[in-house]
Structure 1
Amino acid sequence: MNADFFKNYGFTLNNILHISPREAYELCQKGAILLDLRLELLFNSKRFDVPEMLYCHNDEIENYFHHLPTNRPVIIADAVGIHSKEVVEFLMNKGYTLVANLVGGIHDWERDGLPIIVDKDETMTGGCMCQLRTWSKAKGNKSKKS
């Protein structure tokens, strides 16, 4: 893919390209890879439904970034677009040029009605933070101990 892949998409602020969820979806259909930075439990319960997606928690990007292709466009996404911007900046400092930040993360993606994959068994449920557990555990599908 060439350097013009992101041409006419998004807006640039502080040298970082920011794209909307709809633009990101369109670009993923054209060959961009989406990198999801959210916590694994969030990734397991709800994912972007795009042709090509990678997962790496944002805390692990320094150990993972060398696995990302340098010749393919990569859209960085998280829950609401905060950590993704930081990771785009990190990747640009490492020489990546075909990177963009997804504005609003999966929150705005879902709000805009774009496709997601939901695994109900991995969805978190509970009345407060101390009671959170996956749906399958809340329904009593606990694995038996020997």
Structure 2
Amino acid sequence: MSTPTLLDAEPDTMARRLLVPVWNALSSRADALRRSLPPCPDTACGRYEWWRALDAEQARRAALLDRLNALCGHLAGRPALGYDPEDPLPPEALEEADGFVSEPVAALMAAYRARRADLPSARQLLRQRWTAASCGERKSRAR
């Protein structure tokens, strides 16, 4: 009998273990990008002018910085637009952390992705419930 490892754990346990290393990787990347860009003003008007003054490469880095900031916020419990609020570790966060984590963390990320792929998504579960409910409704109308 083999000893269970973290790679054999439930997806929720894996997600909790990955949260900090993934957040650290994204945060480090965001800090490096922030240092490579001119300071961004806090006001909406100033931010608009800041975006307009960026060249194409700076704008690309600024867009990536916004994405990384949103993902870091999501991982910290502040759901970001475009990401499922019920998902503590969106696939996009893992994608952005690829290549910026240690080998053991990368192995855990791969195992988490594989385990997660076996689970139905929330969207699939909702679709199944909606289909079952609407089919039951149609049957009762037909009677």
**Interval of TM-score (by shorter of Structure 1 and Structure 2):** under 0.3
Identify the structure with bigger relative contact order (alpha carbons < 8 Å, sequence gap 6+): 2
| Greater per-residue helix proportion | 2
State the TM-score, normalizing by the size of structure 1.
0.26
State the TM-score, normalizing by the size of structure 2.
0.26
Structure with the greater alpha carbon radius of gyration = 2
